[in-house]
Amino acid sequence: MTDLDELRRITAAAAAAAPVAAAAPDAERARWLRAVADRLDEHTDELVRIADSETRLGSTRLGGEVARTTGQLRLFADVITEGSYLEAIIDHADPSATPPKPDVRRVLHPVGPVAVFSASNFPFAFSVAGGDTASALAVGCPVVVKAHSGHLELSVRMAELVAEALTEAGAPAGMFALVTGREAGNALVADPHIKAVGFTGSVAGGRALFDIASSRPEPIPFYGELGSINPVVLTSAAVSARAEELAKGLTGSFTLGVGQFCTKPGVVFVPDGGGFEDAVAGAVAGAAGGPLLTDRIAEAFPRGLQSLASDPDVTVVAGPVEQDAAAEGAQPVVLATTARAVRERPDTLLEEVFGPTTLLIRYGSEEELLGALAEVPGSLTATLHAEADDDVASIVGALRERAGRVVFGGWPTGVAVNWAQHHGGPYPATTSLFTSVGATAARRFQRPVAYQSAPAAHLPPALQDDNPLGIPRRVDGVIVLP
């Protein structure tokens, strides 16, 4: 466990590295990121062995996650060399305007050292060298990672490889470090050298850290991904046309990774009397369960099932509610209730259960559907399965209000890492308006600064008239490409 004296030395070193990293050219920071990616790729087999021993996620899933992680690092290297991430804007002076307008130029600057909290369910992609770390390093923010106790050995080894690669690539000392232990994690958020926090985890843990970040003498941004039940809506026409296909797709999605994906479809709105429950029961009969990530998660899963199943308006569609997930692994379970019950008891029926389970919610009309959707807490995703001639404008509008990504005709598990991705949503999905996946994740760790009537010698390169960086900019209201 990291003691508080060591923590203070680590954050002080990060603060000393911050101005050096901020001043480094984008191409140099891109080289740092690619060096880390290359180092992790070289050690994939070793890392997968360690991860599997701690998480039991399997070598196939873990190997793919390493590839996603290194691909993410390389994406951010491309993002910062392309240059639009700086959001450079130039408005030249206009003395003839009333009142006269001065020369104003705006660009984004890194906020400084960032704390990153690793997730339990993605030991690579949302962990030591995951998206939070990659996007922060990319824009010049030193990173201090709080390791997750569920994969501590992996975290330590990952941190060694990241630190070695950064040092060999010429990054400044203090650019990256790892701390362990709950006390160190709390102190990290409170440390005055830390200027922003990235977090993926539970609602309870996230809120506790969010409150620390907000109550500091100098409050800082807390970018937390907390809980998400990711609603799915099936129209009557869709169920009539392809019930078995939809049931297989749903089963594959809510059991993927033993139901431990943050985008697992936790509630599914289905037309009353459409026969979808029978189709799901058939699909689940052939679905496998498996071990959960930690003992704590394994103990909580049966309790969550039993809490839902004890509601008088909930029935069991498939799977055993009574199970010993800690000893025998978690088995898939499908429950069902009504839209009316959801509107009456949303706090009970819409509680997230982490593991391989989903709740079918029967609705009898669009009005009933929309009323129940309004009770769904903020989510990362919302999904719609409809037919081409369905009038779903109102449903799409309702789903857009509840989530940061609306999926049409697919399933929400799986998050592409690209320029357009948005992985966020209204609280409790996240505590901010920003994404933790994709190119614009870098925006979390930057702040805008405007330069008014600044001499050319004091302008950052992104704002100089001759555009030495060769980046896209908005000049006098017009996008100008290099």
Kindly tell me the burial class for residue 466, based on how many C-beta atoms sit within 10 Å of its own C-beta (0-12, 13-18, 19 or more). Answer: exposed
Q: At what angle do helices 131-138 and 26-42 cross, to 10 degrees?
A: 150
Side by side, the strands of the sheet bearing 478-480 are 446-452, 104-110, 89-91, 473-475, 478-480
Which residue is associated with the tokens 């789903």? 399
Distance of alpha carbon 302 from alpha carbon 397, whole angstroms: 35
Q: Measure the CA–CA gap between 91 and 313, rounded to whole angstroms.
A: 61
- Which of these is catalytic: 54, 65, 141, 225? 225
Q: Please, which residues have CB within 8 angstroms of residue 280's CB and are 6 or more apart in sequence?
A: 247, 250, 251, 317, 318, 334, 360
CA 77 – CA 187 distance, rounded (Å): 31
Please confirm, yes or no, whether 225 is among the known catalytic residues. yes
**For residue 89, which of 463, 468, 355, 378 has the smallest C-alpha distance?**
463
Please tell me which residue in 54, 65, 262, 368 is annotated as part of the active site: 262
Tokens at residue 108, please? 């984004």
Q: In terms of DSSP bridges, do strands 104-110 and 446-452 run parallel, antiparallel, or are they unpaired?
A: antiparallel
Determine whether 352 is an active site residue. no
Q: Is 471 helix (H, G, I), strand (E, B) or coil?
A: coil
Task: Please name the helix (run of DSSP H) or strand (run of DSSP E) that holds residue 123, with its range, or none.
Answer: none
Q: Which three-class secondary structure string do you get for 173-231?
A: CCCEEEECCHHHHHHHHHCCCCCEEEEECCHHHHHHHHHHHHHCCCCCCEEEECCCCCC
Say if CB 274 and CB 240 are below 8 A apart. yes
Q: Cβ distance 141 to 175 under 8 Å?
A: no
User: What b/e sequence results for 310-320 when a residue is b if at least 16 CB atoms lie within 10 Å of its CB, and e otherwise?
Assistant: eeeebeebbbe
> Does residue 350 contact residue 375 with C-beta atoms inside 8 Å?
yes
Among 66, 75, 79, smallest CA distance to 123 is for 66
The single-letter code of the amino acid at 187 is A
Distance CA 292, CA 89 (A): 49
Measured at the CA of 65, the angle between CA 118 and CA 110, to 5 degrees, comes to 50
Distance CA 326, CA 302 (A): 9
Residues marked as catalytic: 225, 262
